[in-house]
Chains A and B, each alone.
Chain A
Amino acid sequence: MLRLECPVCGLRDHDEFTYLEDGSITYPKLANENQDDWFNAVYLRENPRGRHIEKWHHTFGCRTVLLVERDTLTHVIGKIKPAHPKIAAALKQPATAKKRS
């Protein structure tokens, strides 16, 4: 069992999460009509043996999509943060800033 430290919920077993995909992929803008750009993003994979950035969805928790750094050979988990930059930024703010007026 892998255990992932969810920034919202805390340390949880990996079967609470759904593995989504390689998190290092940058998809082209929707208006981009270059076939090669799409082919590279949709089909080709670095597939490293070692450090891998990947997206996990906390399906049976807070439902945040997370970017997880994990080693594909040893399964050691590294940094974890929300995939959405605004959520990541919001979680970084001190508790007082979150208080509603």
Chain B
Amino acid sequence: MARYSAWQILKQGLTGNKSWDPAWRDASPKSSYDVIIIGGGGHGLATAYYLAKNHGIFNVAVIEKGWIGGGNAGRNTTIVRSNYFMEGNTEFYEHSLKLWENLSQELNYNVMFSQRGHLNLFFTPGQRDAMIRKYNIMRLNGIDGELLDRDQLISKVPHLNYSQEARLPILGALYQGRAGTARHDAVNWGFARAASNLGVDIIQNCEVTGFISTGGRLVGVETSCGEIRAEKVGMAVAGSTSLLAHKAGLGRLPIESHKLQAFVSEPIKPFLDSVVVYGVGHGHFYISQSDKGGMVFGGNLDGYNSYAQKGNLPLYSDVASCAMNMMPALGRVKLLRQWAGIMDMSMDGSPFITKTDLDGLYLNAGWCYGGFKATPASGWCFAHTIAHDAPHDVNKLLTLDRYKTGHMLDESGHGPYPKSH
């Protein structure tokens, strides 16, 4: 398949754009593979790519129930950052950010990664001190982060609500300059194209309905397209993890499925050149502007367990009031679209990339509402875990049994609570 380049654009443009190849092969399943990845979202496609690229395992299938990128990969607010402070999360998300920085070149596909900076606002001295502690830990780990006082923040984003009459006057922000946004569809298509180029079969409209095991070892899956055998099977189906885990006999997991909404406004002229986020009390809000001009924003979970990919209006009203408190100038902007995705909410707000009790079955789950930024490292680590039957140093703490041993990765300090992120 031809590499994408300026020369290709010129050549195809001069010949009427009639001879572009499809970006990936839409494959039919073979009877067996070395590895099957269930779930054709960003994480599953990235896993398949890195299995082929880093570990020389080319006989791989990605099986997707719907169409690739049609689940949470297409339902996020595209924010990429690595401002975590627990050991286990810190190195994992920084590894991901480093992969993002070179991802367009790596995949020969423009994922539109834009390091526009990420501002985390604070409103009280206590909140400031807690954030400073977190960002100091990041800096000790070689991750960028800096403290902006109120005046520095005003010069960076002049149109927030800085009034002393505000419900909570802004005191300043913690800033990660290397963070930013990426184009979510491009990430999926880029990984799909790169994986397909290396021989990976991408099989759409094929639902896994059961697992086949002999002698306590997984040997394949039953699907709506028939039985497919494999030496190893990886699950990357965040949102539906519990359903497949029950089918595989893994029993109950430390996960609840919740829905999270996101919103995009009509396109407006350049208004915000960074990502702005705040969380205080019940209020939680994050916003950025897409390259098309739409304001992309979101807030809290809807609040009750759900597998319905539709959001409710009270939460919309809640998020809209968060927006109005922070950016009153948005008041006349019309909402264009609103959607909801199903999140794997783990009991400590952190994910799993791990082996399971069933030989041959591997689990990638529990992303809460922070999975998009993890896409490259999730695939990278999951591929390593599958290929070596053991985790990489970067994901060795993202285990399923950490709750039992008391090694929770609880960034928010909530204790057992399936609504952290």
Contact = CB atoms under 8 A, between A and B. Distances in A.
A and B interact: yes
Interface of A: 1-2, 13-15, 19, 22, 35, 39-40, 42-49, 52, 54, 70, 72-75
Contact of A47 (B256, B312, B416): B256
A96 B188 CA distance: 66
Given A1-B312, A15-B314, A45 B252 contact: yes
Contacts of B403: 39, 42-43
B263 to A, nearest CB: 17
Contact of B308 (A35, A46, A74): A74
Given A22-B256, A45-B255, A45-B256, A73 B347 contact: no
A72 B308 CA distance: 7
A13 to B, nearest CB: 8
Given A43-B347, A47-B242, A49-B257, A22 B305 contact: yes
A73 B314 contact: no
Given A49-B257, A75-B308, A19 B242 contact: no
B404 to A, nearest CB: 5
Contacts, number: 66
Interface string B248-273: 00011111110000000000000000
Nearest to B347: A43
Chain A contact surface mostly:
mixed
Q: Which 4 residue pairs are nearest across A and B when measured between Cβ atoms?
A: A47-B242, A44-B252, A15-B314, A19-B304
A15 B257 CA distance: 20
Chain B contact surface mostly:
mixed
Interface residues of B, number: 24
A39 B404 contact: yes
Contacts of B74: none
Among A2, A44, A45, A48, chain B packs the most CB atoms within 10 A around the CB of A45
Contacts of A19: 303-304
Interface of B: 240, 242-243, 251-257, 303-308, 312-314, 347, 403-404, 416, 418
B307 A73 contact: yes
Given A43-B254, A45-B254, A47-B253, 15 more contacts: A1-B312, A1-B314, A2-B304, A19-B303, A39-B403, A43-B404, A45-B252, A45-B253, A46-B242, A46-B252, A49-B240, A49-B257, A54-B304, A72-B305, A73-B306
A44 B401 CA distance: 11
A22 B419 CA distance: 13
Contacts of B306: 72-73, 75
Among A19, A43, A44, A48, chain B packs the most CB atoms within 10 A around the CB of A43
A10 to B, nearest CB: 19
B237 to A, nearest CB: 12
27 contacts: A1-B313, A1-B314, A2-B304, A14-B304, A14-B312, A15-B314, A19-B303, A22-B305, A35-B404, A42-B416, A43-B416, A44-B252, A44-B254, A46-B242, A47-B255, A47-B256, A48-B242, A49-B240, A49-B243, A49-B257, A70-B304, A72-B257, A72-B306, A72-B308, A73-B306, A73-B307, A75-B306
Contacts of B314: 1, 13-15
Nearest to A42: B416
Contacts of A42: 347, 403, 416
Nearest to B309: A73
A32 to B, nearest CB: 16
A44 B253 contact: yes
Contacts of A49: 240, 243, 257, 307
Nearest to A39: B404
A44 B347 CA distance: 9
